């Protein structure tokens, strides 16, 4: 049977910050009518020059425990001069700029760019990148009962004893210290290592078994749960702690922030025998803008 399988990309996030960015110099496909072309160009005449368009965003502000949203009219109001400030709004949590999320986003876009540079089979029009990053400083937790995660065999995919679920989160690893039967899962510096373990376990044990080895970790190299701040503690006297959490994280943490960048919206994808220069242009320009935000 033919079917579509949908994924909730935000499922592993506590306070997901989300942005939809349309990529490419043209938002109309090669078979669009003159009327359609005129309609699309009039919506955002700068698309060809800028190479991308912000379609909307939702940003979690830590200090107020609330979301700020912007719709497509916000994105269409951005000019070549203001697009940098417009994008940076997505990475600002109401207190400071989340440079860790920007750095991680750039790395993920670069991987998508690498794929586009090497393929000549498809051209994408009116397609988007979906950005998601964790707005909360609280890491997800998994519960341990009478076993450790040093090696767990014979358990259905993603399932821990007691019915608890361990998400296959590319950006997660486990701190060795325990508290009240729980361990904190925090951002790590090696998504590739975790993925390799997951892939190896998946191929060896098929769908029914999991092997996950957790090696000794240096406490200084992880984002400790003790530095995380819940909303009830935001009473005006924790600004220095917030600064430690969001603005002065170690370099290895910044490089592996809990971030997803996914290609979405494939209604207008066409066969081709050339590189998708329009999409590549948009990706490169977006990387440049993000890098400028990071540097400045």
Q: Which residue has the higher pLDDT, 169 or 274?
A: 274
Pick the CATH number of 13-138+256-295 from 3.40.50.720, 3.20.20.80, 2.60.40.10, 3.30.470.160: 3.30.470.160
Position 249 scores a pLDDT of 53
Q: Which residue has the higher pLDDT, 221 or 66?
A: 66
Position 164 scores a pLDDT of 41
Measure the CA–CA gap between 81 and 86, rounded to whole angstroms.
10
| Domain map (residue ranges) of the chain | 13-138+256-295
Position 205 scores a pLDDT of 41
143 has pLDDT over 50: no
- In DSSP notation, 162-229 reads GG-B----TTEEEEEEEETTEEEEEE-S-HHHHHHHHHHHHHHHTTT----------GGGS--GGG--
Contacts of 287 (CB under 8 A, 6+ apart): 106, 109, 110, 113
User: From the CB of residue 180, how many other CB atoms can be counted at a distance below 10 Å?
Assistant: 6
Position 241 scores a pLDDT of 54
Across the range 3-12, mean pLDDT stands at: 92
Report the Cα–Cα distance between both ends of the chain, in Å, rounded.
Answer: 52
Angle at 248 between CA 54 and CA 183, to 5 degrees: 95
Confidence band, pLDDT 50/70/90 cuts, at residue 137: confident
Bridge partners, residue 17, by sequence: 133
Return the minimum-mean-pLDDT range out of 43-57, 109-123, 225-239. 225-239
Q: What is the pLDDT of residues 65-95, one digit of tens each?
A: 999 999 999 999 999 999 999 999 999 999 9
Confidence band, pLDDT 50/70/90 cuts, at residue 240: low
Q: Which residue has the higher pLDDT, 217 or 100?
A: 100
Position 90 scores a pLDDT of 98
- CA distances for 101 relative to 11, 274, 291, angstroms: 18, 33, 12
Confidence band, pLDDT 50/70/90 cuts, at residue 49: very high
- Say what the pTM is: 0.65
- Ranked by mean pLDDT, which of 40-49, 146-155, 202-211 comes out on top? 40-49
Q: Percent of the chain at pLDDT above 90? A: 57
Strands ordered across the beta sheet of 182-187: 141-143, 182-187, 172-179
236 has pLDDT over 80: no
- CA distances for 283 relative to 69, 260, 278, 293, 295, angstroms: 24, 16, 9, 15, 18
Position 188 scores a pLDDT of 38
Q: What is the pLDDT of residues 91-123, one digit of tens each?
A: 999 999 999 999 999 999 999 999 999 999 999
Across the range 128-145, mean pLDDT stands at: 73
- CA distances for 265 relative to 2, 99, 107, 124, 212, angstroms: 19, 27, 21, 9, 34
250 has pLDDT over 80: no
Measure the CA–CA gap between 217 and 271, rounded to whole angstroms.
47
Q: H-type helices in the chain, by residue range?
A: 34-43, 47-50, 72-76, 83-88, 99-117, 191-205, 239-246, 251-254, 277-295
Position 242 scores a pLDDT of 52
What average pLDDT does the chain have?
74
Q: What is the pLDDT of residues 144-197, one digit of tens each?
A: 443 334 334 344 444 444 444 344 343 433 333 334 344 333 333 444 444 455
Measure the CA–CA gap between 188 and 178, rounded to whole angstroms.
17
Contacts of 236 (CB under 8 A, 6+ apart): none
Contact (Cβ atoms closer than 8 angstroms) between residue 101 and residue 259: yes
Position 36 scores a pLDDT of 95
Return the minimum-mean-pLDDT range out of 10-19, 44-53, 161-170. 161-170
């Amino acid at each position: 049977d033919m079917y579509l399988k949908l994924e909730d990309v935000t499922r592993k996030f506590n306070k997901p910050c989300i942005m939809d960015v349309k990529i490419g110099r043209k938002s109309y496909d090669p078979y669009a009518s003159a009327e359609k072309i005129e309609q699309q160009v009039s919506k955002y005449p700068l698309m060809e020059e800028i190479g991308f368009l912000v379609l909307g965003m939702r940003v979690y502000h830590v200090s107020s425990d609330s979301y700020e949203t912007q719709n497509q009219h916000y994105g269409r109001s951005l000019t070549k001069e203001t697009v940098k400030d417009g994008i940076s709004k997505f990475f600002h949590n109401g207190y400071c700029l989340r440079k860790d999320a920007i750095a991680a986003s750039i790395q993920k876009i670069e991987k998508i760019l690498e794929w586009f540079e090497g393929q000549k089979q498809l051209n994408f029009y009116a397609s988007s990148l979906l950005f998601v990053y964790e707005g909360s400083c609280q890491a997800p937790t998994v519960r341990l009962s009478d076993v450790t995660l040093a090696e767990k065999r014979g358990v259905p995919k993603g399932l821990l004893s007691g019915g608890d679920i361990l998400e296959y989160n590319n950006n997660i690893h486990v701190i060795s210290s325990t508290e009240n039967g729980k361990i904190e899962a925090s951002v790590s510096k090696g998504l590739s290592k975790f993925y390799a373990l997951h892939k190896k376990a998946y191929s060896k044990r098929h769908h029914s078994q999991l092997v996950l080895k957790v090696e000794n970790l240096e406490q200084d190299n992880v984002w400790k749960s003790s530095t995380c701040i819940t909303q009830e503690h935001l009473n005006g006297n924790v600004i220095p702690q917030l600064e430690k959490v969001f603005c002065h994280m170690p370099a290895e943490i910044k490089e592996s922030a809990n971030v997803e960048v996914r290609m979405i919206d494939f209604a207008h994808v066409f066969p081709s025998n050339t590189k998708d220069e329009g999409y590549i242009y948009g990706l490169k320009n977006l990387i440049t803008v993000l890098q400028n935000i990071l540097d400045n």
